[in-house]
Amino acid sequence: MELQNRQIRAADRATVLSAHAIVMDGVAVVTNLAFGFFAERGLPAAFLFGAGICLVSLALFQRWYVGEGSRLALAVL
């Protein structure tokens, strides 16, 4: 949450955080449905799906951190 607050202007903070919460809720619904689908096919399939999500998330985070996150880290120091 702290990273989000640093990236958002004060005047738009409530709107942007609300929009972010709505998007995250939608992603959670789709992800939970997908986990259920894969779990019915077999537990290893659900675990592989979860591992895939983790790897994609790590790649996206690294891409963000190299581009913008490092500037935020330097601003804190």
CA dihedral sign, ordered 6, 32, 34, 19 = negative
The mean pLDDT of 58-62, rounded to a whole number, is 89
Backbone angles phi, psi at 9, to 5 degrees: -65, 150
Q: Which amino acid is at 51?
A: A
In angstroms, the CA 53 to CA 38 distance is 13
Among 12-16, 22-26, 38-42, which stretch is predicted with the lowest mean pLDDT? 12-16
Q: Can you give the residue ranges of every domain in the chain? A: 2-76
Angle made by CA atoms 57, 29, 11, in degrees to the nearest 5: 70
Task: Tell me what percent of the residues of the chain surpass a pLDDT of 70.
Answer: 78
What was the pLDDT predicted at 71? 61
Is pLDDT above 80 for 37?
A: yes
Q: Which amino acid is at 22?
A: I
